[in-house]
Amino acid sequence: MTTRIQKEASKESLLLNMGPSHPAMHGTIRIMLELDGERILNSEVEVGYLHRGFEKICENRTYFNLLPYTDRMNYVSPLINNLGYVMTVEKMLGIEAPERAQYIRVIMSELSRISDHLTCLAAMAMECGAFTVFLYNVKAREYIWDVIEETTGARMTTSYIRIGGVRADLHPGYKAVLKKAIVETRKVLKDIRGLLDKNIIYLNRTRDIAIVSPETAISYGWTGPCLRSTGVYYDVRKASPYAVYDQLDFEVPLGERGDNFDRYMVRMKEMDQSLRIIEQAMEKMPRPSPSKLMVEALEPAEAIKASRTKRVEKEIKLSPNLEGSERGKYLDILGTDKKYVVPPKEDTYTSIEGIINHFKFFMRGHGIRPPKGEAYFSVEGGNGELGYYIVSDGTDRPYRLHLRAPCFHIVSALEEMIKGHYIADIIPTFGSTNMIGGELDR
C-alpha cells in the first residue's frame, strides 16, 4: 500500500521507516520520514497499532461493568481515567460523592498524575541515554504505587473510584506510607533536577527543539502540560474545578518557549504542585465517622452460617472483601442509594434483602440506568483534558461513549514538530509528548 509520503516524496530524498517497534521509542507508533541526509523534510505518523475497540466494547457493557476498561486507557494514571468516567455518569445521574470520598479522589488522582509524569520523564530521559533517571523515577513510582496498593488492592489497574464515591476507605496506616512516598518522591525529584537541568547533553537535545507556538498548540487542540509549556494558562482543575480542587491551593506552572525542555520543566514543576495538593488534602480531609467497637461482632464465616437459620442482628467483624468497605463506611465514602451503589457484602451474604438488592444491581436490564440524554465531563488527566462523552438511551448500557483523549491531539502535531529537525531530535520530541498507546488508539 503506498502511503501519502511515498506519493509526495521527491525523487532525490530518502525514505525511512521508524517503528512501530523501534528501540528508542516507547509505545507503538510508526513514523515514516522523508530525509535529506539527516534532516527531516517531511513525515507521516501512523497511529492505530493499539486499537482495542474501547468505545465499541463500552456499548456492550453495563455502566458498572465497563469501569475496568477505563483503567486501561491511560494506563499510567488509571485512577484519573476512572474519575473522568465516574464523574460523567454522576453528572448524568445528578448525584455527588460524599466529601471524604471527594478528598480521597483528589489524593488518588494526584498520585496518579505524579506517576504519569514520572514515567513520561523516565522514558524520555532514558531514550536520550540517561538510564539513571529512568531507575530513579521508577523507584519513586514504586513508592507511590505502594500507597495506591495499600488502599485499593492493586498496583495499576485498580477500578477503585466507583459511581457514587470510592470502593473502600483509605487504609488505616495510609498516612505513614503516603508521607514516605512524598519524602521519597521529593528526593528523587531533586536528584533528577540535579542530573538533568544543567546537563549539557540533555540541554542540547531538548532546548529549542520542536518549538510550538501557543497558536499552533491551541489550533491542534492541545491541553495539559504540553499546552502549558507554550505559556497558555489552561488547566481543567482551575478552569472548571471538580471534586474539591477549588478548596485547595496550588499553582499552574507555565513554560515560555514551548520546546522539549519546557515540556520537561512543566512536568517537573507540576509534580511539586501535586505533592502540595496531596499534603493539603491529607490535612483537610474530613475524619471518618467513628466506627463502632467491634468486640461483640461476629466473624464473617460465623455470620454466614448463622444467617442460614435466622436473621443476623450483630455486626460483622471484617467485610469479606476489601478493607474499609464495610457497611458502616458506606456513608463516608460511597453513599447509600441502592440505585447506583453495590450493596455491602455483609448484607449480600447474610440477608434476603441484601441478596435481592445485589441481584437487582447486577441483573441484565437493571442496575445503573441514567436518564435519557447526553453528558460531557472532563477532568485534568496526566496528558491534558480527558473528557468522556456519554449518550444514554435510558437502558443499563451506554448508547455511545466517546473518549476525548488528550494524547491524540498532541501526537497529531508531531509531524509539524519534527519537521526540519534531525532524526535524533525525534526521540526527545516524541518522548516529551508522552504518547500513551491505550489512550491514543483507544
Partner 1 sequence: MIGNFVTTRFNYILGWARKYSLFHYPFITACCGMEYMSTAASHFDWDRFGTGWTRFSPRQSDMLVVCGTISHKLAPVLRTVYDQMTEPKWVMAFGTCAVSGGIYDNYAVVQGSDRIIPVDVYIPGCPPRPETVLDGLIKLQEKIQKQEQEWRWKKRK
Which residue in 15, 35, 57, 195 binds partner 1 (CB under 8 A)? 57
Q: How far is Cα 234 from Cα 248, in angstroms, rounded to an integer? A: 17
Q: Is the Cβ of residue 52 or residue 276 nearer to ligand SF4 in the bound state?
A: 52
- Which residue type does 37 have? G
Task: Provide the β-strand partners of residue 166.
Answer: 161
Contact 413, 217 (CB under 8 A): yes
332-351 binders of partner 1 (CB under 8 A): none
The C-alpha angle with vertex 106 and arms to 95 and 442, in degrees rounded to 5, equals 80
Sequence-ordered strand ranges (E) for 100-145: none
Gyration radius (Cα) of the chain, Å: 24
Half-sphere exposure in the Cβ direction for 218 (13 Å, CA): 7
Q: Name the 3-class secondary structure at 43.
A: strand
- In a 10 Å sphere around its CB, with 0-12 CB exposed, 13-18 middle and 19+ buried, how is residue 88 labelled? buried
Sole window of 66-74, 176-184, 232-240, 241-249 interacting with partner 1 (rule: CB under 8 A): 66-74
How many binding residues for ligand SF4 (CB under 6 A)?
2
By CB under 6 A, residue 276 contacts ligand SF4: no
Binding segment for partner 1 among 48-56, 224-232, 345-353, 421-429 (CB under 8 A)?
Answer: 48-56
Each residue 151-170 as x (binds ligand SF4 by CB under 6 A) or -, in order, gives: ------x-------------
Determine, following the binding rule CB under 6 A, whether residue 72 of this chain makes contact with ligand SF4.
Answer: yes
Quick one: what does residue 135 bind among partner 1, ligand SF4, none, with the CB cut-off 5 to 8 Å set by partner type?
partner 1
State whether the Cα torsion 138-143-147-152 is positive or negative: positive
For residue 82, the partner it binds in partner 1, ligand SF4, none, with Cβ less than 5 to 8 A by kind, is none
Q: Which stretch binds partner 1 (CB under 8 A): 64-72, 90-98, 255-263, 377-385?
A: 64-72
Binding to partner 1 (CB under 8 A): which residues in 141-170?
A: 141-142, 145, 155-157
Using the minimum distance from each CB to partner 1, give the nearer residue, 188 or 271. Answer: 188
Decide: is 402 part of the binding site for ligand SF4 (CB under 6 A).
Answer: no
Least separation in angstroms between CB 156 and ligand SF4: 7
Helix (H) or strand (E) holding 116: helix 99-127
Backbone angles phi, psi at 398, to 5 degrees: -70, 140
Residue in 384, 407, 299, 392 with CA at minimum distance from that of residue 350? 299
Note the residues at the interface with partner 1 (CB under 8 A).
20-21, 23-24, 26-28, 48-53, 56-57, 68-69, 72, 75-76, 119, 122, 134-135, 138-139, 141-142, 145, 155-157, 437-438
Note the residues at the interface with ligand SF4 (CB under 6 A).
72, 157
